[in-house]
């Protein structure tokens, strides 16, 4: 079995694969204070509840945007699973070419998303990831990672707004039925959630013009479910896209080692 770990600034998502099948996944808060043994206790409890024996894990791969937590999970995997985890970066043979000015600065989760999208079929592809940041990642038909766009995440924007405006209160993350809010709550929901929908649709239009053809679009990320089905461009939602990309990268690298 394979343990795939996607470490973000807000959440950590852990998946367990048997061959190419995702058996289960768990989403947890990115608590930087939690130590390796504490993470192990939590993962062991979650695994037991899902009938997973973590002792059967024979490989591990990490995508991390939080160096401190990457170190913690490396320690956990080495100490508890007795495996050396693969850590994703553009320095690896990912099966796609990273055609940016500085490939090593591209986030590991974005690379995994690009790999998973390219694996889905002929491109071009745009991955829209609604997480701590809202990102777009573009993959050419040939499998070239071309770059993308990064905007503050929906929660980051909402928290900044309500923290800096004394008369504005936090609101539920629900897309309103109309753009013209009849009260403060509806107005914030319109400006934030419908505003982000417009942001994404506008960026997709610009990306389409630059590519010269209409791309396939896949949505992922913990907040992606808020936006799918509210725009024709955002109909395809795969919450496990990053984990699937990690599994694809792992299998590719293991196969290469076996053939060497």
Q: 26 with 66, same domain?
A: yes
Number of domains in the chain: 2
Give me the CATH number covering residue 71.
3.30.420.40
Residue 184: which pLDDT band, with cuts at 50, 70 and 90?
confident
Neighbours of 42 (CB within 10 A): 15
Q: 178 with 238, same domain?
A: yes
Please indicate, yes or no, if residue 65 is contained in any of the structural domains: yes
* Closest listed residue to residue 241, CA positions, set 129, 160, 75, 159: 129
157 vs 148, residue with greater confidence: 148
The pLDDT value recorded for residue 192 is: 86
Distance in angstroms (rounded) separating the CA atoms of residues 203 and 87 = 30
Q: 167 with 115, same domain?
A: yes
Distance in angstroms (rounded) separating the CA atoms of residues 46 and 154 = 28
**Phi and psi torsions of 29, nearest 5°:** -70, 140
Please indicate, yes or no, if residue 176 is contained in any of the structural domains: yes
Chain-wide mean pLDDT for the chain? 92
Domain membership of residue 79 as a residue range = 2-87
Identify the active-site residue in 20, 101, 109, 238.
109
For the entire predicted model, the pTM comes to 0.93
Please indicate, yes or no, if residue 92 is contained in any of the structural domains: no
Residue 168: which pLDDT band, with cuts at 50, 70 and 90?
low
Structure tokens at 22: 């995702």
Q: Mean per-residue pLDDT for 101-130?
A: 96
Please indicate, yes or no, if residue 122 is contained in any of the structural domains: yes
Residue 39: which pLDDT band, with cuts at 50, 70 and 90?
very high
Give the SS3 label for residue 98: strand
The string of pLDDT tens digits covering residues 208-250 is 999 999 999 999 998 888 888 788 889 899 999 999 999 999 9
Distance in angstroms (rounded) separating the CA atoms of residues 189 and 196 = 10
Please indicate, yes or no, if residue 39 is contained in any of the structural domains: yes
Q: 117 with 217, same domain?
A: yes
Distance in angstroms (rounded) separating the CA atoms of residues 69 and 175 = 33
Please indicate, yes or no, if residue 97 is contained in any of the structural domains: no
The pLDDT value recorded for residue 167 is: 58
Q: 28 with 71, same domain?
A: yes
Please indicate, yes or no, if residue 119 is contained in any of the structural domains: yes
Q: 80 with 111, same domain?
A: no
Neighbours of 76 (CB within 10 A): 21
Distance in angstroms (rounded) separating the CA atoms of residues 212 and 80 = 50
Q: Mean per-residue pLDDT for 42-57?
A: 95
* Annotation says 109 is catalytic: yes
Which residues, at least 6 apart from 100, have a Cβ–Cβ distance to it below 8 Å? 106, 145, 146, 147
Structure tokens at 37: 């043994």
Q: Mean per-residue pLDDT for 51-76?
A: 95
């Amino acid at each position: 079995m394979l343990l795939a770990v996607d470490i973000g600034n807000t959440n950590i998502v852990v998946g367990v694969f048997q061959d190419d099948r995702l058996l289960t996944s768990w989403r947890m808060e990115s608590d930087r204070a939690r130590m390796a043994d504490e993470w192990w206790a939590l993962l062991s409890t979650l695994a037991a509840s899902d009938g997973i024996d973590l002792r059967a894990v024979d490989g591990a791969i990490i995508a991390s945007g939080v160096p401190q937590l990457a170190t913690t999970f490396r320690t956990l995997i080495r100490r508890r699973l007795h495996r050396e985890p693969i850590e994703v970066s553009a320095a690896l043979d990912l099966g796609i070419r990273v055609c940016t000015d500085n490939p090593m600065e591209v986030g590991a989760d974005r690379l995994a998303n690009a790999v998973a999208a390219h694996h889905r079929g002929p491109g071009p592809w745009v991955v829209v990831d609604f997480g701590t940041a809202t990102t777009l990642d573009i993959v050419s038909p040939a499998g070239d990672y071309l770059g993308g766009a990064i905007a503050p995440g929906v929660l980051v924007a909402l928290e900044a707004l309500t923290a800096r405006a004394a008369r504005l209160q936090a609101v539920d993350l629900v897309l309103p039925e109309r753009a013209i809010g009849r009260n403060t709550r509806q107005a914030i929901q319109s400006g934030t959630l419908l505003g982000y929908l417009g942001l994404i649709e506008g960026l997709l239009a610009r990306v389409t013009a630059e590519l010269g053809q209409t791309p396939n679009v896949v949505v992922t990320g913990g907040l992606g479910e808020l936006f799918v089905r509210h725009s024709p461009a955002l109909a395809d939602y795969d919450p496990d896209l990053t984990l699937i990309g990690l599994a694809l990268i792992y299998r590719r690298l293991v196969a290469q080692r076996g053939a060497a």
